Copies of this chain bind each other. A is one copy, B any other.
Amino acid sequence: AGDTAEPGELSRRLAFLAEADQLKSVYRANTLIDGSRRENSAEHSWHLALYALILGGMAGAGVNPARVIRMLLIHDLVEIDVGDVPLHSAAGQAHGSAAIQKAEAIAARRIFGLLPDAQARDLLALWSEFEAASTPDAIFAKALDRCQPAIQNLQSGGAGWREYRVTFDDIATRVGTKVHLGAPDLWRWLEVGLRSHFG
């Protein structure tokens, strides 16, 4: 309590929160379930945090759901500068490319750098941990980040997949591996739906 006694710190935090508003204007490849429009990265981040709240109990040992929620709330802020790079675009070669990773790292330093220094460092470290996907929290968070758009696509009839001519095998590789690692029960459930959709 009371760590904002210095007025400049509150202004920096509110400048960051105003900057974050722009994530509501970054649109993704997948649509809402009713197919009415594409989903934006802010509401996607909300949905993912809600996934973590609801499914946190099924995570493996060593996962802290509250920390996963924080990670998912901030994981896409870099898209304010870089945009969303669809997982299935360019035959799966664009997402996670070295060029995109470099641009995202620059964006993370700029955006988290709006905050007071200690908080900027903490959130930059949390974002980097998500990107590296090697701790239990990040592995679970990545599993949710991969499975939510697949569920949106499945339940909306595959609109976001047709555009990129996505096959069952593409999804098994680009989605299944990470979902199976972080949330195996969820992958088993999703695989049934995917086989039925593509079968």
Q: Which residues of A contact B (CB under 8 A)?
A: 1-4, 7, 10-11, 13-14, 16-18, 20-22, 24-25, 32-34, 36, 39-40, 42-43, 45-47, 49-51, 53-55, 57-61, 63, 66, 69-70, 73-74, 115, 119, 151-152, 155, 185-186, 189
Contact = CB atoms under 8 A, between A and B. Distances in A.
Contacts of A40: 43
B47 A70 contact: no
Contact of A53 (B25, B54, B70): B70
B58 A189 contact: no
A174 to B, nearest CB: 21
A151 B18 contact: yes
Closest 4 CB pairs of A and B: A46-B46, A66-B66, A42-B43, A3-B57
A175 to B, nearest CB: 15
A115 B32 CA distance: 21
A3 B73 contact: no
A71 to B, nearest CB: 10
A58 B4 contact: yes
B155 A18 contact: yes
Contacts of A47: 17, 20-21, 24, 42
B49 A21 contact: no
Given A14-B151, A17-B51, A74-B53, A2 B32 contact: no
Contact of A43 (B43, B151, B152): B43
A10 B61 contact: no
Contacts of A16: 54
